[in-house]
Structure 1
Amino acid sequence: MTTVPARPRAARVATWMFFALNGFGMGMWVVHIPNVERATGISHSTLGALLLVLGGAAFAGMQVAGPLVDRLGHRKLVPAAGVFVGLAVCAPGFANSWWTLGLALILFGFGNGAIDVGMNSHAVVVERAYPRPIMASFHAMWSIGGALAAVIGAATLGAGVPTGVTLTGTGLVCVLLSLGAARFVMEPADAPAEVEESAPVQATGRRTPGRLIWLLGGLALALMLSEGVANDWAALHLEKDLGTSASTAAFAYGAFAVAMTTGRFLTDRVAAWAGPAAIVRYGAAMAAAGLSIAAVAPWVPLSLVGWAIFGLGLSGGVPQLFTAAGNLDTRNSGALMARVVGLGYVGLLAGPALIGGLTRWMPLNVTFAVPVVLCVLAAVFAGVLTPKPEPAEQPVA
């Protein structure tokens, strides 16, 4: 068994912190959206437009941060992005009009996009210093951060704490964690040679980065679009199609989220044994089966089982795609990561809107055929993660 030196182990903990603070900051914003909407006096439609602005700013932040992390290094960009997010998350709590909220969300979205690419690129660097896959555990920490935000946010809302105070406290936590973790951030050259040699084989083998990056991005878009559908429509499906109460309907998303978080903690061990292509292939197939069950089930318990299977199936695929993207070309890891993360983020935003548009012409459970088909396609094309064999040496005449 290979012993991992102290430097990569410390960097792994630091990366956990960045993923957790990102999930925590985003989660605290989400639970306070109704309060912010009331404080600014905007309509639901205006809020929807501003949320699209946040998404666009996040996408821009990803594309800017990708090349910057290659040029400046992880040690400078990742903590700086964490501090930026911490400062920006305070701003929505003090918005008093649509335009001040819009400016706040541009800053917050840009910072979230930057840290998303930076921390995932850094996670790939840390994983190279390990003899086994560890990427999925980082994504699990993002989920833990979001869950912690839901609990703390509910408590502060129940206690009547002003939104500005809560979000300022959230920002302070993010800033302190970023500054505390900064000294442990690694650069590619910091990986110990003896460990780096035994690191997991790059999933992409000798394939051409230019073409493969779009295939990886397409797979990320398909899987994250499916995840976005669960985020926004799982509870509504139980309430509208199966006639449950709002409180019971919430268990649909709960089943999905708990299964996804659990799966992310388990994925790394399975990936070390089965390989990244198998995680994407069988996980996507499981997700397609789970969502199909949830969509057609006539009973609430069976539908909840379907949503849980859907979450478990989706849990491990995206981390494998990010690892593959980051290992395509170590000199341009950040820029390549930005494309895949960016396309995945487009899917995450587009999925709920696409389903919402389709419900004008068909029942909600029928629209779930779209993510089911995308999961099937992801299973079919998962072979792009299988390494190509090295060309055989030609015998010398």
Structure 2
Amino acid sequence: MISKQKHRFFLSLFFFISGFSFATWASRIPTIKTTFDFNEAELGSILLALPVGSLLGLPISGWLISRFNSRVPLAGGYALNAFSLALIGFAQNVYSLVVAVVLFAFTTRIFNISVNTQALTLQKQFEKKIIGSFHGYWSIGGIAGILLSTLLLSLNVSIHLHFAIVAAIMLLVTVYSYQFLLGGDRSKTGNKLILSKPDPYIFYLGIVVFLCAICEGGMFDWSGIYFQEIIKVEIFTYGYLVFMTFMAASRFLSDFIIGRFGMPKTYIMSAAFIISGISLAIIFPTFWTAMAGFSLVGFGTASIIPMSYALAGASKKYSPGMAISIIATYSITGMLLGPPLIGYLAHAFNLRVSFIIFALCGLLLIPITRLFFNHQKLADQVKD
């Protein structure tokens, strides 16, 4: 029998490698922009292929979670994700690039739902909170991916070789680690999407993760461009690296912070960090102020999605897998709509102006989270 600690280790490994692979893609977006000679609007259009692929995966991911134990779509989606990452690296024209990016987003959707369902199921075996640490490992994987990208950029390693190496690592991890994932976690109830008036509990959480994901997605895909074109540094991965580093640190601290201050105050603090950090980077576009600003944004965004996923798992209407699938629809849509939105705004105005959207999203988090907790409070009073 596999111990819960071993389950936790290998599930953490999947979070780590998924962050590693996503950072590999995101850190090389400036390379793709240069290779295909895209302007900001054209790059934004390419990035728009991501939400298309993700939305295509919406009905399929929900069906897979309701039909199988979560480790089946997790492993299958992850193996296909590795294949799609390699395809991006070898794309020779815009059409093959779009197909590869759509497949990348589609498979990311599948394993993202599965790995978070596994995390919520495993959480039930532990008394202390462990959800934040899983997302922390995703961020640590992202840092490792950025560091490798920075090294390979300095060595002038081609993007197709870079992506092929990472894809091979992903496949090896998937094949070996599958046996150590949780089995028998398919929920018998709450697996059907109910088409009716939106459940306020899920709807408010969805808007929260949507706003946060716009910030995350925009920072993932445009921080390198910002440092390349606004800060004007040759190694453009610095901003992405500091953002991911502080995101990881915050996620490992998030369980303690939530226990100390509670979720309502943690949401407010997160919003304040996002607003102040991005304002600093916009108003004072120098290397060190931008580094400080991006670190604050990383610290602010880190706790929001793990907190929201944990709250979604407590839904009275849906099973954890279906609740996460619905919430992740908002999350992934925000994460993948954010980058093209930044691209279009940057083309219409300039990149610094386009980053204001992050501050606006941070500001909106405050009233939306208050609406959610007020609704939760009223629901508890009615129940009592």
The normalised TM-score by structure 1 is 0.79
CA distance in 1, matches of 2:72, 2:82: 16
After superposition, the CA RMSD in angstroms is 3.5
Are residue 334 (structure 1) and residue 330 (structure 2) matched?
Answer: no
In structure 2, relative to structure 1, the CA distance for the partners of 1:301 and 1:97 (3 Å cut) is closer
In structure 2, relative to structure 1, the CA distance for the partners of 1:43 and 1:140 (3 Å cut) is same
Are residue 129 (structure 1) and residue 125 (structure 2) matched?
Answer: yes
Q: Find 2:72's aligned residue among 72, 76, 84.
A: 76
**Is the Cα contact below 8 Å between 2:274 and 2:301 reproduced in 1?**
yes
CA distance in 2, matches of 1:33, 1:234: 10
CA distance in 2, matches of 1:142, 1:112: 13
**Is the Cα contact below 8 Å between 1:81 and 1:111 reproduced in 2?**
yes
Letter in 2 for 1:321: S
After TM superposition, list the pairs within 5 Å mapping 1:136-215 onto structure 2.
Answer: 136-156=132-152, 159=155, 163-187=159-183, 210-215=199-204
Q: Find 1:223's aligned residue among 197, 212, 229.
A: 212
**Is the Cα contact below 8 Å between 1:290 and 1:310 reproduced in 2?**
yes
Q: CA deviation at 1:250?
A: 5.6
Letter in 2 for 1:216: L
CA distance in 2, matches of 1:392, 1:106: 45
Letter in 1 for 2:270: G
CA distance in 2, matches of 1:393, 1:367: 45
Identity %: 22
In the alignment, structure 1 segments of 5+ residues that lack a partner are 192-207
Q: CA deviation at 1:57?
A: 0.9
In the alignment, structure 2 segments of 5+ residues that lack a partner are 188-196
CA distance in 1, matches of 2:11, 2:240: 27
After TM superposition, list the pairs within 5 Å mapping 1:278-289 onto structure 2.
Answer: 278-289=265-276
**Cα deviation code 1:192-211 (max 9, x no counterpart):** xxxxxxxxxxxxxxxx9822
CA distance in 1, matches of 2:147, 2:66: 37
Q: The residue matched to 1:132 in structure 2 has which SS? A: coil
Letter in 2 for 1:104: A
Q: The residue matched to 1:73 in structure 2 has which SS? A: coil
Are residue 345 (structure 1) and residue 332 (structure 2) matched?
Answer: yes
User: Which structure is larger by alpha-carbon Rg, 1 or 2?
Assistant: 1
Q: CA deviation at 1:319?
A: 0.8
- Counterpart of 2:245 in structure 1 is 258
**Is the Cα contact below 8 Å between 2:140 and 2:244 reproduced in 1?**
no
CA distance in 1, matches of 2:25, 2:342: 24
Letter in 2 for 1:322: Y
Letter in 2 for 1:228: G
Letter in 1 for 2:212: L
- Counterpart of 1:307 in structure 2 is 294
CA distance in 2, matches of 1:336, 1:151: 34
Letter in 2 for 1:217: G
Q: The residue matched to 1:90 in structure 2 has which SS? A: helix
**Is the Cα contact below 8 Å between 1:276 and 1:385 reproduced in 2?**
no
Q: Find 2:263's aligned residue among 276, 279, 282.
A: 276
Q: Find 1:104's aligned residue among 94, 100, 103.
A: 100
Which stretch shifts more, 29-38 or 18-27?
29-38
